[in-house]
Amino acid sequence: MTQYTVRTKKEVKTLNEGHEWSEELPDEMFVKKFNFTGHEFGPLGRGSKGKPKEFELFWDPKTLKSATELLTLLDKNKMTARLDVIQ
Protein backbone atom coordinates (compact mmCIF):
# COMPACT_ATOMS: atom_id res chain seq x y z
CA MET A 1 0.00 0.00 0.00
CA THR A 2 1.39 3.41 -0.97
CA GLN A 3 1.66 6.02 1.79
CA TYR A 4 1.74 9.77 1.17
CA THR A 5 2.99 12.40 3.62
CA VAL A 6 2.83 16.13 2.98
CA ARG A 7 5.01 18.38 5.13
CA THR A 8 5.38 22.13 5.50
CA LYS A 9 7.44 24.06 8.01
CA LYS A 10 8.21 27.53 9.22
CA GLU A 11 11.08 28.94 11.22
CA VAL A 12 9.80 30.17 14.60
CA LYS A 13 11.28 31.33 17.89
CA THR A 14 8.93 29.48 20.26
CA LEU A 15 6.52 26.57 20.31
CA ASN A 16 3.66 29.01 20.95
CA GLU A 17 4.59 30.97 17.83
CA GLY A 18 4.34 27.71 15.87
CA HIS A 19 0.91 26.95 17.29
CA GLU A 20 -0.29 30.46 16.48
CA TRP A 21 0.95 30.09 12.89
CA SER A 22 -0.86 26.78 12.44
CA GLU A 23 -4.08 28.22 13.89
CA GLU A 24 -3.98 31.06 11.33
CA LEU A 25 -3.99 28.61 8.40
CA PRO A 26 -7.25 28.09 6.49
CA ASP A 27 -9.58 25.45 7.93
CA GLU A 28 -9.76 23.80 4.50
CA MET A 29 -6.20 22.50 5.07
CA PHE A 30 -7.45 20.41 7.97
CA VAL A 31 -10.39 18.58 6.38
CA LYS A 32 -10.68 14.81 6.80
CA LYS A 33 -9.49 13.88 3.29
CA PHE A 34 -6.08 15.48 3.97
CA ASN A 35 -5.71 13.56 7.28
CA PHE A 36 -3.76 16.06 9.38
CA THR A 37 -1.58 13.98 11.71
CA GLY A 38 0.31 16.49 13.82
CA HIS A 39 3.30 18.74 14.23
CA GLU A 40 6.91 18.75 15.38
CA PHE A 41 9.02 21.52 16.95
CA GLY A 42 12.77 21.56 17.18
CA PRO A 43 15.58 21.01 17.40
CA LEU A 44 15.59 20.70 21.19
CA GLY A 45 18.07 19.38 23.71
CA ARG A 46 21.84 19.32 23.91
CA GLY A 47 23.56 21.32 21.19
CA SER A 48 20.40 23.09 20.02
CA LYS A 49 20.96 26.38 21.86
CA GLY A 50 21.17 29.25 19.39
CA LYS A 51 20.04 27.13 16.44
CA PRO A 52 16.92 28.20 14.54
CA LYS A 53 13.76 26.37 15.54
CA GLU A 54 11.20 25.02 13.08
CA PHE A 55 7.54 24.15 13.44
CA GLU A 56 6.59 21.43 10.95
CA LEU A 57 3.08 20.25 10.09
CA PHE A 58 2.26 16.76 8.75
CA TRP A 59 -0.62 15.34 6.76
CA ASP A 60 -1.07 11.74 5.56
CA PRO A 61 -3.62 11.84 2.73
CA LYS A 62 -4.86 8.43 1.57
CA THR A 63 -4.63 9.16 -2.16
CA LEU A 64 -2.24 10.89 -4.53
CA LYS A 65 -5.16 13.04 -5.68
CA SER A 66 -5.75 14.34 -2.14
CA ALA A 67 -2.01 14.89 -1.65
CA THR A 68 -1.87 16.92 -4.86
CA GLU A 69 -4.92 18.98 -3.82
CA LEU A 70 -3.25 19.77 -0.50
CA LEU A 71 0.01 20.73 -2.19
CA THR A 72 -1.92 23.08 -4.49
CA LEU A 73 -3.72 24.62 -1.50
CA LEU A 74 -0.43 25.13 0.34
CA ASP A 75 1.08 26.71 -2.77
CA LYS A 76 -1.88 29.10 -3.10
CA ASN A 77 -1.13 30.19 0.46
CA LYS A 78 2.52 30.84 -0.51
CA MET A 79 3.83 27.93 1.55
CA THR A 80 6.61 25.56 0.59
CA ALA A 81 5.75 21.90 1.02
CA ARG A 82 7.21 18.47 0.42
CA LEU A 83 5.52 15.21 -0.60
CA ASP A 84 7.05 11.93 0.60
CA VAL A 85 5.86 8.72 -1.05
CA ILE A 86 6.53 5.30 0.47
CA GLN A 87 5.63 2.22 -1.52
Three-class DSSP category at 78: coil
pLDDT band at 63 (very low <50, low <70, confident <90, very high): very high
Three-class DSSP category at 11: strand
CATH assignment of the domain containing 9: 3.30.70.100
> How do residues 23-60 score in pLDDT, each as one tens digit?
999 999 999 999 999 999 987 767 677 788 999 999 99
pTM value > 0.85: yes
Domain range holding 60? 3-86
Q: Per the structure, how many domains does the chain have?
A: 1
Cβ partners under 8 Å of residue 32, min gap 6 = none
pLDDT on residue 50: 76
Mean pLDDT calculated for residue range 62-79: 96
- DSSP letters along 30-72, please? GSGGG-EEEEEEE--STT-TTSPEEEEEEE--SSHHHHHHHHH
Cβ partners under 8 Å of residue 68, min gap 6 = none
Question: Among residues of the chain, what percentage have pLDDT more than 70?
Answer: 98
Query: Which amino acid would we find at residue 10?
Result: K
